[in-house]
Amino acid sequence: MARRISYLITLIIVFSTPHIFTCNCQPKYYKVYELDYPVEIVRIADIYPYIVAYGNGVMSLINCSDGEVMATYKLNDTVSDIVPLVYDTVAITPNNTVYLFSFYLFMPVFSRTLKEKIVATAFLTAGNELFIATNRTVYQLCPGCRTVVTFLKTREDIVHIAATRRYYEYIAVCTVNNVVFINRYRKKALWTMEVPEGVRYACVSSSGGRIMLLTGNENIVVLNYSNMDIIARINLSTSPRKTLLSDDGKYVAVVYDDRIDVYKVVDKTIVWSMSFDGNISSCDFSYNFKVIAVSLPTKVYIFRNFSADPVMEFNLTEEVTSLDLRYDGSILVFSHGNKVVQVNTLYRKKSSISISIEKSRIEVNEITHIEGYLNPPLRNQTLIIETSFDGTNWRSFGTIVTGKNGHFKQAITYLYPVTIYFRVVWYGNEEYEGCVSSPVKLEVVKRRVHVNITITSAEEAYLNSEIEIKGETKPKLINEALRLNVTSPSGKSYEYVVQTDNNGRFTFKIKLDEKGEWKIYAKYWGSEDYLPSTSNIITIRAKEREYVSEVLPYLAAVIAVTVIAIIMVRKKLRSSL
């Protein structure tokens, strides 16, 4: 009975909608979005649930979780390619104009027309950056800064560029006869290799530490990119349309007009081969090759785990115009006519991340920790830490790897005052869906400064005498100006500027030229990093000298000496008699 119900539901879905196609999977595994224009390009973001579609100068943003078209924008320009980033998407036109769309606003927030023809792009997920190669220049698009800057210039024509897709920061730039391997953050070429037979294409694995080159004489060369050792060389008899390297560097896929071969790198054997009745119009692979999507003009096939038969098959009445598989293979999107079809290819379990912050309010240079757990409690899972100033526009802060029981802990410190939000993202794996934690808020405030002053004298001093004031700041303020406020007995106020030394200390001398009580304190007006602070107040009394009391000790001494002298003289006189 369950099979008959499922079959009836499928028939109702197929024949009650304007798009006519048949599928060997249940309707709960796919969604169809009907747009107001014929779709030419469709792409899906790797992390967030967004699909971007284009056709007839119109861009559309679809939320594949909610199943709704969120926004549409009339670009009035022809688009040749779309590259979804982490928080934004890039549209590239045939006249080499680059448009940056924000997922949140879904309108061009930046555009730049390059002088040379765009030949290739490479997306670096870890830095949320897109590298764009023209004939002899590689540009770096920074969505956060909304700028395009020159990253590298070459003497030879560039034929291709590739980047590590997840977590790491390496870029390979292929010119006609050379490959330059670059560390993006150091902006340093780690090595350059000459390829006399020429380079057509390259792929770089994130976790496998390998790079694949397709040379001009139809050879595939797989190298270890840390030491340039050749791991495998595969000689092809026919020129392929496309070659790919799995993220772990274990497999190489070779796409021909009507066939796909997958090689195991370690022994160069073909582990999967599939021929089709017709030319392949498009194909895409998940990062580990566990999911492979192939489209013919009116058919779409989905293979899983190198299966001999497709696990899903769509037969269409209109030609497939575009196809894109999410990097983890969980969702496939393809377009035909004015429709976008979203297919859930993996049936994965739910996951979650819980995080907390040790101290939600810290001072500049103080350290706090973000701590949490990944559920399921898996080790060695790379998580993305994201930050936002408003809780909506998120940017990558860095990565962290889970330890025992899915636990992770990250130290956070800032050199300036700021209010900022943090959250943690996991891409997921074959068994579990990706997830995003709830945000936590951190407030970084200016540091408190303690200023203490002392004097060398006691609480009283003589009129017109000079006293020395010594001061100290904690933490040490080096070469900072403080105000020394002095109030005389008559109520007059004096202000002096004092400068701290390398130990955060200062000294100053004051002449007490009025009789009575003097009050002294130091004040620090604060800075970008420190709060204002006022020292303790010192009170000292200036008094006149009492001359009688000062002379008496001397007179007493003189009298005593005189009396002693008289006594001695008398003793001598008596002894002489």
- What CATH number is associated with residue 439? 2.60.40.730
191 within domain boundaries? yes
29 within domain boundaries? no
pLDDT digits (tens, 9 = 90+) for 186-234: 778 899 999 999 999 999 998 778 999 999 888 999 999 888 899 999 9
Domain with 497, as residue range(s), is 450-543
* CB proximity list for 380: less than 8 A, separation 6 or greater: 401, 402
* Sign, CA torsion 356/359/360/366: negative
**13-27, 80-94, 105-119: which has the minimum mean pLDDT?**
13-27
Are residues 468 and 487 located together in one domain of the fold?
Answer: yes
Measured between alpha carbons, how far is residue 297 from residues 14, 24, 317 in Å?
Answer: 19, 18, 10
| Boundary-marking domain end, from 445, 473, 508 | 445
pLDDT for 571 beyond 90: no
Of all residues in the chain, what percent carry a pLDDT higher than 90?
A: 57
Q: How would residue 542 be classed by pLDDT, with cut points 50, 70 and 90?
A: confident
Are residues 551 and 511 located together in one domain of the fold?
Answer: no
Predicted pLDDT of residue 3? 30
pLDDT digits (tens, 9 = 90+) for 224-275: 988 889 999 999 989 999 999 999 999 999 999 999 999 999 999 999 999 9
- How far does the chain reach from its first CA to its final CA, in angstroms? 157
Burial 503-541 (b: 16+ CB within 10 A, else e): ebebebebebeebeebebbbebeeeeebbebebeebebe
Are residues 176 and 261 located together in one domain of the fold?
Answer: yes
Are residues 423 and 480 located together in one domain of the fold?
Answer: no
Are residues 528 and 399 located together in one domain of the fold?
Answer: no
Average pLDDT over residues 68-80: 92
| Boundary-marking domain end, from 407, 423, 445 | 445
509 within domain boundaries? yes
The DSSP secondary structure of 140-192, one letter per residue, reads EEETTTTEEEEEEE-SSPEEEEEE--SS--EEEEEESSEEEEEETTTTEEEEE
Average pLDDT over residues 35-50: 92
Q: Cβ(184)–Cβ(149) under 8 Å?
A: no
Predicted pLDDT of residue 550? 56
Are residues 439 and 479 located together in one domain of the fold?
Answer: no
Average pLDDT over residues 102-120: 91
Predicted pLDDT of residue 549? 54
* CB proximity list for 550: less than 8 A, separation 6 or greater: none
pLDDT digits (tens, 9 = 90+) for 455-483: 876 678 888 888 888 999 998 888 899 99
Total domains in the fold of the chain: 4
Are residues 520 and 554 located together in one domain of the fold?
Answer: no
Are residues 169 and 265 located together in one domain of the fold?
Answer: yes
How far is the C-alpha of 570 from the C-alpha of 528, rounded, in Å?
84
Are residues 384 and 505 located together in one domain of the fold?
Answer: no
* Sign, CA torsion 31/35/39/44: negative
**In this structure, what DSSP letter does residue 405 have?**
G
Q: Which has the closest alpha carbon to 84: 421, 434, 309, 325?
A: 325
Are residues 483 and 441 located together in one domain of the fold?
Answer: no
Are residues 400 and 381 located together in one domain of the fold?
Answer: yes
| Boundary-marking domain end, from 218, 251, 272 | 272
For all residues of the chain together, what is the average pLDDT?
87
Q: Is the pTM of this model over 0.75?
A: no
Residue 26 in tokens: 């249940």
pLDDT digits (tens, 9 = 90+) for 93-106: 999 999 999 888 89
For residue 157, the domain's CATH number is 2.130.10.10
Are residues 498 and 556 located together in one domain of the fold?
Answer: no
513 within domain boundaries? yes
Predicted pLDDT of residue 551? 56
